[in-house]
Structure 1
């Protein structure tokens, strides 16, 4: 499936870099990275986020302004996307351990289409060496502390029943940013009741803990598994909860 980008775009072979950045930013806005009326990060932060120059970001924002997706005034650039306001998001963010990015902090998320780790494949019921959508998340505080990294593998069931996830397969090259913060809301919208089991284990001889989240639906079908490593000092803790389907 082709990437969602502003209308009247050039063909892929003619598309300049700022068109790609505009499309990726638009996708993130539609996925809940910001709500209507919210101010976007500065051009400098967006340039770092997409790995491009500020001029490229400026051109990308102009594309979105022409399409009415954002508006710029003396307060900065705000989101004007219709239909995003009033949404009742899940109280659980994806992936486990993700957080809002503060000024100066680092936050990166990408997707690939690859063979997952063996323990992930087993948990998802995947045949050996069968690829699937794999999401990587990494963040750190402004001073480089409080580092977190998460690896998530999605099951074929999740990809077949959740359209918003499935469309990431064709862009899963590990380079473009891919914030999937609304993944659990997409699952609920698809009629899935989510059951989470999170196991938190302190790693021996390190100041870190490992969190393993397994998610299945009301039919006990596996949807995703995430392994998170985070700087912390905590004893082992296991807890479960169920998130009903939307509607």
Structure 2
């Protein structure tokens, strides 16, 4: 009688219906659950593969396969600086961050809003405030907002310092796509700075523009070491609009 040996399913054989999902899929599901809980907020960078492998107790190859799953599902984006969370909205249960730039109307973009970034030479006033050599380019953010009727227009120009670009990776990675055309909402910029370990000090100067119905707001932000981070120049048409500042202070203790 001929001897037979048990048949080991090959990778091409379909898995039994009751078989557990592969390890990389389980890691992908666990990671997605943590992202939805706000472990890493939307738009921010994931820890490296080695740290994730240690966190889940698996190999880096398994982590790499799990990240591929989330990337194919559109839940992660990857560039030369790493993988970034692409889940929409703020993390569940988190406090609303201070929205950038000064004068932005709402926590989420709306019709009539336009925001882009360019790598260019800032105005002399901005260069002086940021300690930049005259003529030296930097990352600049342009914001425009108008109501459907065309009134209440707001325009803001922000220049970031070399310190901000060196300390805040989420800002630095915009340099390669600062073409002045593609939409670039940096509404979490202040939150990114705080998560980079920077304490933010804001100084807003508000002046009425002579012979116009406009208000100019100049915001300067520096960190705990008195290093300049950004300066924003906002112009608001106040004929049909109101400029509202909203601050949230954490409870003591």
After TM superposition, the score normalised by the length of structure 2 is: 0.60
Report SS of the residue matched to 1:126.
Answer: coil
Task: Give 1:1-247 correspondences, 5 Å limit.
Answer: 30-31=42-43, 67=73, 69=75, 81=87, 85-86=91-92, 88-89=94-95, 91-100=97-106, 105-232=111-238
- Note the residue ranges of structure 2 that are not aligned, 5 or more in a row: 1-40, 45-69, 77-85, 240-244
Query: Alignment length, in residue pairs?
Result: 171
CA distance in 2, matches of 1:167, 1:103: 21
1:8-37: CA deviation from partner (whole Å, max 9, x where unpaired): xxxxxxxxxxxxxxxxxxxxx9439xxxxx
1:75-95: CA deviation from partner (whole Å, max 9, x where unpaired): xxxxx9289523635542100
CA distance in 2, matches of 1:98, 1:82: 19
After TM superposition, the score normalised by the length of structure 1 is: 0.61
CA distance in 2, matches of 1:137, 1:168: 15
Q: Compute the displacement of 1:143 (Å).
A: 1.1
Provide the alpha-carbon RMSD of the alignment: 3.4
1:113-153: CA deviation from partner (whole Å, max 9, x where unpaired): 00100000000000010000000000001111110000000
Q: Compute the displacement of 1:169 (Å).
A: 0.2
Is the strand fraction higher in 1 or 2? 1
1:181-209: CA deviation from partner (whole Å, max 9, x where unpaired): 00000000000000000011000000000
Q: Compute the displacement of 1:68 (Å).
A: 5.2
Contact persistence 1:213–1:225 (CA under 8 A): yes
Contact persistence 1:107–1:140 (CA under 8 A): yes
- Note the residue ranges of structure 1 that are not aligned, 5 or more in a row: 1-28, 33-63, 71-79, 234-238
